[in-house]
Structure 1
Amino acid sequence: MTPDRLAALAALRQNLHKIPEVSGSEAKTAAFIADYLRPYEPDILITGLGGHGVAAVFDGAAPGPTVLIRCELDGLPIEEVSDADYRSTHAGRGHLCGHDGHMVMVAALAAELSVLRPKHGRAVLLFQPAEETGKGAAAVLADPRFEEIAPDYAFSLHNLPGLAVGKLALCAGPANCASRGVRIRLTGRTSHAAAPQDGISPAGAMAQLLPGLVALGSGGGGGDALGPDFKLVTLTHARLGEATFGIAPGEGEVWATLRTVTDAGMASLIAAAQDHIAEVCAAEGLNFEIEFDDVFAACTNHPEATAVLNSAAKTAGYPVQLSDQPQRWSEDFGQFGKEAKAAMFWLGSGEDQSQLHNPDYDFPDAAIPVGAGVFAAVIETLLNDSTGHNY
């Protein structure tokens, strides 16, 4: 990639960085991306896909597989802390997970595809909404228009702090944990603070649920190996009654995140959590409701798609570090693995980079050529009967 080309893509990334929008509200970002793609004349440009999703399709000259390259549109509801002149202009929101960089690496493919369409099959550049809540991929797949672009192969990436800028890592098999948020609403009966015995307080149940839920997990330390039996319960929020001194509380809430390597492990952990909640509440005379949110299926790399990624990356000049340990965090890209041969890889964003979701996180522009180059080599490999090339 020439210095001028990198500078143009860095400027695009920084412009996107200024306008972060949270999951489900990415209208301005989606319009920005669609306007960027139109001059490259994709054969089909779909907007409003599964919410605010955008898909650009570049058809090949002959029949063949559909290869989808996916990135994410959404930012986070976190105030950015930065002195950069391109820092977020939207109060309380920031591109603090690197999705601005992901978008640019996928958008960069449009310039090459506009000049040289695939020999066969078609390439689909997908800009997916609402990844951070786990709702976006499912919404895209449920959109009737997705049938027009249903892929045979799907590829994605995520940047990885702690890995040197531009270095690549790839998991064969499980790549990201399944996770889901559980919200437990406890209902008893309020009473005067002078007569707590006349009410039913959730306090005793909460005192049992907080350690009891955590104990359902099998790991928690940063060095724990993520084998198939790995389970983690993280308490994220708790509330008891109202902020007053005159009322013995009659209701409360406990929030926790459940995390496992496999979907089967998640089903087992959910059942154990439900049994524990029911047992505690019955003993305390409480009613309860359980709700789930931020539901992410496990993300597992398909063997064939993994092999394509590994080979294409090496051909593009970027050797891959293979790993058998998935990431603890979740990714709704796993949904595409139910429809296609799918795989995602990790792209280093710096050994000293702030952690994802930190208020001072900033995607490194130096990584742009690497991610774009790997994706271009994947398209070259699968749609041009080639072993790939340098982008």
Structure 2
Amino acid sequence: MSELLTSFRHELHAHPELAHAEHATADRVVAFMQQFNPTEIVTGIAGTGVVVTFDSGVEGPRMLFRCELDALPIVETGVGGYASVDARVSHKCGHDGHMVMIAGLGEALASRPLKRGVVHLLFQPAEETGTGAAAVLNDPAFDCFTPDFAVAIHNMPGFPMHAMVVKSGSITAAVRSVVIRFTGRVAHASEPEKGENPSFAVADLLRDANALVVADQHDPDFRLVTPVHVSVGSVAYGVAAGDGEVHFTIRSASNEGLSNLQAEITAIAEQLATRDGLAVEIDVVEDFYANINDPEVTERVRRAAETCGHEIITPDVGMRAGEDFGLFTERFPCCLVLLGAGEDHLPIHNAGYDFPDELIATGVELFEQIVRDAEGNFEPTLRSHVS
């Protein structure tokens, strides 16, 4: 494994930035990638995004490999030597490692140039908020980077180190965060009948929404409703509450299933508001499309993993977590690969989590093998030309 890549990973880890604020991270990426003499580097995609292009000059496949720039608002623990310099922010999802694997593909293409086709390396902003993919795809500056296919990796603790979790169809859930606000009318606590108290609507909404859960992922109607925040009124003991809100994160295996679930929750909230004389407002604050892996691209990834000699795991069902690459899978033929980070490794979003450096070479090797296979034998599909 390149010490250059390991050192760069540690540098990125020590200087994390939150979604849509990854300015210094993007600058570091550009400075690092310039040493590999790419054909072009385009900055400012969706604000902080970067696309690094290696073009052979010979007609061939147009390939895109994507990683994420942003970190999380988590106070880091247990990482020495290259811990975050910002006590409020840290790389607890492994995006530092994902960036370095993509950068490593650039290093490989500099050493062993493309024979045909084009490779675009996308460093995407704002994955953690579910807003970065849409911002990139809606930016006219990205239009010229339309690929025949796209691939991304996400490390995944809980699977054996270096194992490739490869699955056609839904590999991650569709996830949405929904805020429901009830507004009534305060009253003196001794005369609650003179106000409209949302407490009962909040309590009933929690109960009724939970009844919509189908927790078995093997069930085609799989859906989760997780309350993440609840509040009613304020700490004023002489006042009956006049407002309340519930925040849910909801999940389904498909985008259609998620929309149906939200519609059911909305209907319940509106019925409760009508019953209790309340106003109700419903907002979506984060939205992750399901990652639906294309069968042909998934098979391409599987063959590359076999060539590299990696263990391949094909799960019966996808992961419950969401990933912002899902919008790419709706637009282009794509495959999101989950890379095992160790069965006993701390989970992502844990304060003590750190991306395993030994995975860098594994990801780079897989990416390069996909490129070599494609430049030797590739026929674009009709869907790959649909924008």
- TM-score (structure 1 length as normaliser): 0.94
Q: Deviation of residue 131 (structure 1)?
A: 0.4
Correspondence 1:17 to 2:13: yes
Distance in 2 of aligned mates of 1:227 and 1:86? 44
Q: Look up the equivalent residue of 2:188 and give its one-letter code.
A: H
Which residue does 1:362 correspond to in 2?
Answer: 354
Q: Look up the equivalent residue of 1:322 and give its one-letter code.
A: T
Which residue does 2:322 correspond to in 1?
Answer: 330
Correspondence 1:319 to 2:315: no
Instruction: Return the match for 1:299 from 282, 285, 291.
Output: 291
Which residue does 1:100 correspond to in 2?
Answer: 96
Distance in 1 of aligned mates of 2:288 and 2:316? 20
CA distance 1:359–1:283, change in 2 (3 Å): same
Q: Deviation of residue 263 (structure 1)?
A: 1.0
- SS in structure 2 at match of 1:62: coil
Which residue does 1:37 correspond to in 2?
Answer: 33
Q: Look up the equivalent residue of 1:360 and give its one-letter code.
A: G
Distance in 2 of aligned mates of 1:232 and 1:171? 21
Q: Look up the equivalent residue of 2:322 and give its one-letter code.
A: S
Correspondence 1:199 to 2:198: no
Q: Is the 8 A contact 1:237 1:256 kept in 2?
A: yes
Q: Deviation of residue 83 (structure 1)?
A: 4.1
Structure 2 segments unaligned to the other structure (5+ residues): 379-387
Which residue does 2:374 correspond to in 1?
Answer: 382
Deviations 1:4-59 (A, max 9, x none): x2x32211111111111111111111111111011212111011111211110000
Deviations 1:99-122 (A, max 9, x none): 111111000111121233322210
Correspondence 1:249 to 2:248: no
Q: Deviation of residue 193 (structure 1)?
A: 1.9
Correspondence 1:290 to 2:279: no
Distance in 1 of aligned mates of 2:119 and 2:187? 64
- SS in structure 1 at match of 2:247: strand
- Write the mapping of 1:1-391 to structure 2, written as runs, cut at 5 A: 1=1, 5=2, 7-219=3-215, 224-385=216-377
- SS in structure 2 at match of 1:34: helix
Q: Deviation of residue 84 (structure 1)?
A: 1.1
Distance in 2 of aligned mates of 1:83 and 1:217? 38
Distance in 2 of aligned mates of 1:313 and 1:275? 46
- TM-score (structure 2 length as normaliser): 0.95
Deviations 1:50-109 (A, max 9, x none): 121111000023112210000111110111112411111112111001111111100011
Distance in 2 of aligned mates of 1:335 and 1:83? 33
Which residue does 1:389 correspond to in 2?
Answer: none
Structure 1 segments unaligned to the other structure (5+ residues): 387-391
Deviations 1:110-163 (A, max 9, x none): 112123332221001111000011100110001101111111100001111111
Q: Deviation of residue 245 (structure 1)?
A: 1.5
